[in-house]
Amino acid sequence: MIVTVTPNTGIDRTMIVPEFELNKTIRASQCVIGMGGKATDASWILGKMGVPNLALGFAAGESGKQMEVMLNERGSLTDFIWVQGETRVNIIIIAEGERGQSTFTVSTLEVKPDQICSFFNSYEKALTSASCIIAGGSLPNGVPPSFYQELIQKSHQKNIPVIFDASGPGLLAGLSAGPDLIKPNRVELEEITGRQIQPTLDSVYQAAKKVKNQFGVNVVATMGSQGALAVLSHTSYFIPGLSLNVVSSAGAGDGVLAGLSVAYSQKKPIEEGLRLGFAIASAVLLTPTTADYDAGEIERLLPLIQLISYP
């Protein structure tokens, strides 16, 4: 059973508009609702694939209930701790004609110390049947950065691998506990290393290699349309991006988490997880709905994913 942990749950409402301007009414040509938290995105993806998974974290309000229903409809099990506030509704605006997208988000959950204790009680029960943990995303009000550190430590006490994807103070706290793999982008690598990184393949590789050596973790560094670099304990790969008609990038990186978790869960080579993960991510790019995909596109794209030895 793959277990996902999302402290700051959310759903995404995506609107496609002809243009975005202030001080005017903009009429969207399309509006869709998808999942909106890194690890719950992975659960939503895995559920559609028929992979057993359990989604944990904090949730609240009517949007929290809607999020849970969406996960359950996909076949994911859920065991959220219900708290004060409201699960986020993120707004994604996509401008037609390949002019980019923007996300509007705000943290609206309020978590109390006793609710954190309740979460860890549920988490320890989940660990008895877990084969892999995916944890990540921002931290809501009331949840300290040490949350991720404790979560990863408890998993390792049971010898369960952890895939970790976060930013800010939570990223550094979780990294100190030694997750098995992290998936930072270039900005997050800058947070970890404390220095600016040029948007070049070699600069990102050197930074990822430094993080791998310092913390003993596998690093999959994503670089948007440039592709990604996997700096692993035994080797390194460059994974070129595919030439696609991208509709929305929201949730694509969480497809990588899902694919990697399948490999870890089934004790398969990480290379299989990378190929599956980036095929899922590429399929997600083709839909307007966050973390959604067409299963046929994954099958079509999987043979096109390349792992090229680097440097």
Domain spans of the chain, in order of start: 2-309
Give the tens place of pLDDT for each residue, 272-288. 999 999 999 999 999 99
Considering the domain 2-309 in this protein, what is its CATH number? 3.40.1190.20
pTM of the model: 0.95
DSSP H helices in 139-294: 146-157, 168-175, 186-193, 201-215, 252-265, 270-284
Span 33-52, pLDDT tens digits:
999 999 999 999 999 999 99
Q: Which residue has the tokens 């904090």?
A: 58
Residue closest to 124 by CA, chosen among 163, 96, 150, 102: 150
pLDDT at 98 over 80: no
Q: What is the pLDDT of residues 191-217, one digit of tens each?
A: 999 999 999 999 999 999 999 999 999
